[in-house]
Chains A and B, each alone.
Chain A
Amino acid sequence: DAGVIQSPRHEVTEMGQEVTLRCKPISGHNSLFWYRQTMMRGLELLIYFNNNVPIDDSGMPEDRFSAKMPNASFSTLKIQPSEPRDSAVYFCASRSPPGQGLYGYTFGSGTRLTVV
């Protein structure tokens, strides 16, 4: 099992540009989460999908952020336009269906985003 795969690992972009982060969850996992990690705020949940449907997007900072999950094996997080305060590490995590144990998520290696 390759685990949760995120791309790119690092992204440097100029303010105002569009940024797209990608995630491939573990096969068979039906829940997918996007988190953002900063020194100041720690790990914050941005959005949660269950069976490809967005369930809770209350953590999305503002309309500049959008996320999609067109199928069970792929999700994107888009920022348009990007701003320097969006600089952070963005993690994707997936989890297996209920009944298979309420154990922790499996996280990807993250995308380090720098907006200059």
Chain B
Amino acid sequence: EDQVTQSPEALRLQEGESSSLNCSYTVSGLRGLFWYRQDPGKGPEFLFTLYSAGEEKEKERLKATLTKKESFLHITAPKPEDSATYLCAAHPGSSNTGKLIFGQGTTLQVKP
């Protein structure tokens, strides 16, 4: 069964304290691994897509990496405005419908 698991569920950081969020996936033939940011009361906002192991993408203080079993979202010197829930999702190769399998998310709180 296709599955995506994120850890930790919640993470509290001091401003400037770098850390990483983990996304482990078990899917049949990964076609893409997606990262989203979700603020309270809003829909998920697209951040990155990774397609193959070894790929990396960066945006401001965020960097996403991908291996054959997991993805990491590295947050460097976070600021309070980075506080949000971060979701990862996998697009299985068995799915021709574009169906994404979402993890439960990691809620990040950055304190000033």
Contact = CB atoms under 8 A, between A and B. Distances in A.
By secondary structure, the A interface counts as: strand
B103 A95 contact: no
Range of interface residues on A (Cβ < 8 Å): 20 to 34
A102 B46 contact: no
Contact of A109 (B31, B34, B42, B97): B42
Nearest to B99: A45
B44 interface: yes
A106 interface: yes
Interface in A29-64: 31, 33, 42-43, 45, 48, 50, 55-56
Interface string B19-63: 000000000000110101000011111110101000000000000
Given A102-B32, A104-B36, A43 B49 contact: no
A102 B49 contact: yes
Contacts of B100: 45, 104-105
Nearest to A98: B98
Contact of B105 (A4, A42, A91, A102): A42
Nearest to B103: A42
A31 B98 contact: yes
A110 interface: yes
Given A48-B98, A95-B98, A107 B103 contact: no
A107 B38 CA distance: 10
Contacts of A31: 98
Given A43-B102, A48-B97, A48-B98, A102 B91 contact: yes
B45 A43 contact: no
A48 B99 CA distance: 8
A24 B97 CA distance: 20
Given A42-B104, A43-B87, A102-B49, A109 B99 contact: no
Nearest to B46: A104
Nearest to B32: A102
